[in-house]
Amino acid sequence: MTCPDSRPAELQPRLTADGSFSLWSEAFQEGFHCDRGALGEAQHTFLAPAGLELIARNRSVRVLEVCVGTGTNTAALLEQLSDLGRGMQWWGLELDRRPLAMALAEVSFRSQWRPSSVAVLEQLEQQGHWQSNQSQGRLLWGDAREQLRHLLPALRGSLDLVLHDAFSPRVCPQLWTLEFLGQLGSLLGPRGRLVSYCSAAAVRQALRLQGLELASIRPWPDAPAHQWSNGSVASPAALGNNQQFAALSTMEEEHLKTRAAEPYRDSSGRADAETIRAERRKAQANSTASSTNGWRKRWQEVGNFRNPR
């Protein structure tokens, strides 16, 4: 994440519409959260579909967070689990130390959370881990692909929840490949869930190819009609329908039959974004899948296909 002249690319603080703190990344040309609200996104997109209240009560909840950033999802998770009287074992992956440090330097960010949550984020920033009566966690700094390899042997098949909050597949395809998503899927316990804001066909198809069940996160209650999904949930277990998510609609299923569903691939686990995008463009050019434009035109009456982020 450096500029061509090797200065670190800038991160700009900004407030989202619900008044919560966020950042804008110059390097990725994307915000860390949706404009409507960092706090709202943590709640509606990540925690509500996670089904924390359904997890067996005789042990701690086991969570991996991919792309910790400012720690907004981490703090929201800590507070929700504390309200449920649950302990947590947590692992986090993040490349850049600046977002958490910048968030903790902001009074407005700190005042969003209970002092105990701020204390956990401070320990993560300073020591890379925390431990309390009920919970413990470890933050692995570095490229998530590299760091995940260290966790795979110990965590395989054991997690209740993976929160995946990388920048979009278009700008950060490294963290949305068939291989990386496959590794994340392999960490899930039998009823575990992977939750992401992303509804891209390439991501959903990659998760389905790993044998995971899929559901589409419902748009926010007052979202404009064209926002057809607020993200995806994937699990080894059937997901069904509830207030937070539903089975993929006919339109979404058809999306997975188009060239847009060609997965990103990175067999070395070290490829850069442009190489991954170029490989996918080649595969799409040779694909016999139907045209995404044709799909879009067929469904244009009911959606404008804009990613909610």
Minimum Å gap between C-beta 165 and ligand SAM is: 4
Residue of 257, 220, 256, 216 whose CA lies nearest to 239 = 216
Q: Nearest distance from residue 3's CB to ligand SAM, in Å?
A: 15
Q: Which is nearer to ligand SAM, 232 or 258 (CB)?
A: 232
- Closest distance to ligand SAM from the beta carbon of 9 (Å): 10
The minimum distance between CB 240 and ligand SAM, in angstroms, equals 27
Q: Which residues, in sequence order, are bridge partners of residue 79?
A: none
Residue in the structure block whose two tokens are 């440090």: 101
Place of tokens 């008044």: 19
- Name the CA dihedral angle for 141, 2, 164, 120, rounded to a multiple of 10 degrees: 40
> Tokens 């997975």 — which residue?
256
Closer Cβ to ligand SAM, 67 or 78, answer by number: 67
To the nearest whole angstrom, how small is the minimum distance from the Cβ of residue 69 to ligand SAM?
3
Angstrom distance (rounded) from CA 89 to CA 51: 16
Q: Are strands 135-141 and 245-246 parallel, antiparallel or unpaired?
A: unpaired
- By beta-carbon proximity to ligand SAM, the closer residue of 71 and 236 is 71
Min dist CB 224 to ligand SAM, Å, is 22
| DSSP codes of every residue in 261-292 | GPPB--TTS---HHHHHHHHHHHHHT--SBPH
d(CA 224, CA 66): 28
Nearer to ligand SAM, 182 or 303 (CB): 182
Smaller CB separation from ligand SAM, 72 or 292:
72
Name which of 32 and 295 has its Cβ closer to ligand SAM: 32
C-alpha 119: how far from chain center: 24
Q: Give contact residues for ligand SAM (rule: CB under 6 A).
A: 32, 67-70, 72-73, 93-96, 99, 143-144, 165-167, 172, 174-175
Neighbours of 4 (CB within 10 A): 6
Closest approach of Cβ 76 to ligand SAM, in Å? 8
**Structure tokens, 61:** 């909840």
Closer to ligand SAM by CB, 73 or 235: give it.
73
Which residue type sits at 96? D
Structure tokens at 252: 């979404």
Q: Which residue is nearest to ligand SAM (CB)?
A: 69
Structure tokens at 59: 């042990």
